[in-house]
Amino acid sequence: MNKIKMLYEGKGKKLYSTEKKGILIAEFKDDLTAFNAEKKGSESGKGELNCKISSFLFEMLEKKGFKTHYIKRIDSQNILCKQVKIIPIEVVTRNVATGSLTKRLGIKEGTILPFALVEFYYKDDALGDPIINDDHCKLLGIIQNCEELDFLRSQAKQINSVLKDFFDSKNLKLIDFKLEFGRDTEGNIVLADEISPDSCRFWDKDTNEKLDKDRFRQDLGNLKLAYQEVLNRIMA
């Protein structure tokens, strides 16, 4: 399968059409953005690491029965995936308080949450991805019925259970992560986008060292070493 035409360029990936209708190639970029793209950077080799980490995790979730857009990894920086219409909701699941949750609600950084908290954010850069509730989703017409939101919530919780246990076995704490879903040609809602240290927070279980994009957000340095460490651990 070859790249025919670039259809879309996002912050972390480029999407290309292929010879086959409905099948796309997603190329993972080295670019880094944070704070609604106010902070920009690039780290050579980051795209490859994310591509490998995300592919590994999507393969794991597919094996567990989750429906996703993922088909296969074709080389170190590109995957083959099904074309879907992305639902403009960022589904964030949190196990430990940090980031925007601590700022918004004053919950102390590092507090272990008594249950997995699922939040919806409206994927709209111009509005700064505001947090939204079920009624906002209905109002904006981004879901067809309430059952769809219940499905997203339940998928997020189930995926969290799988990933949390898996990362725990690799001596990593899954602090929080963001998922995106899309509709396939038959209208089914499937997991899409990526799962990588760009979209998740991982802390080392013993030292709480941050092994994710917070290294870029907070200028901690050694970003690639951290992403490589995540890849090494999940492959081990």
Binding mask 168-207 for ligand UDP (x = CB under 6 A): --------xxx--------------------xxx------
Cα separation, 12 vs 18, in Å, equals 19
Question: Min. distance of Cβ 23 from ligand UDP in angstroms?
Answer: 25
Cα separation, 173 vs 164, in Å, equals 7
Q: 179: closest CA among 120, 228, 128?
A: 120
DSSP bridge partners of 89: 122
Residues from 82 through 141 that contact ligand UDP (CB under 6 A): 90, 92, 99-101, 129
Nearer to ligand UDP, 72 or 205 (CB): 205
CA dist list (Å): 184 to 78, 189, 191: 20, 7, 10
Nearer to ligand UDP, 46 or 201 (CB): 201
Question: Min. distance of Cβ 36 from ligand UDP in angstroms?
Answer: 7
Element (H, E) at 195: none
Nearer to ligand UDP, 61 or 92 (CB): 92
Question: Min. distance of Cβ 1 from ligand UDP in angstroms?
Answer: 27
Instruction: Note whether 108 and 100 are within 8 A (CB).
Output: no
Question: Min. distance of Cβ 185 from ligand UDP in angstroms?
Answer: 26
Question: Min. distance of Cβ 232 from ligand UDP in angstroms?
Answer: 20
Instruction: Note whether 92 and 119 are within 8 A (CB).
Output: yes
105 token code pair: 């609600």
Binding residues (CB under 6 A) for ligand UDP: these are 90, 92, 99-101, 129, 176-178, 199-201, 213
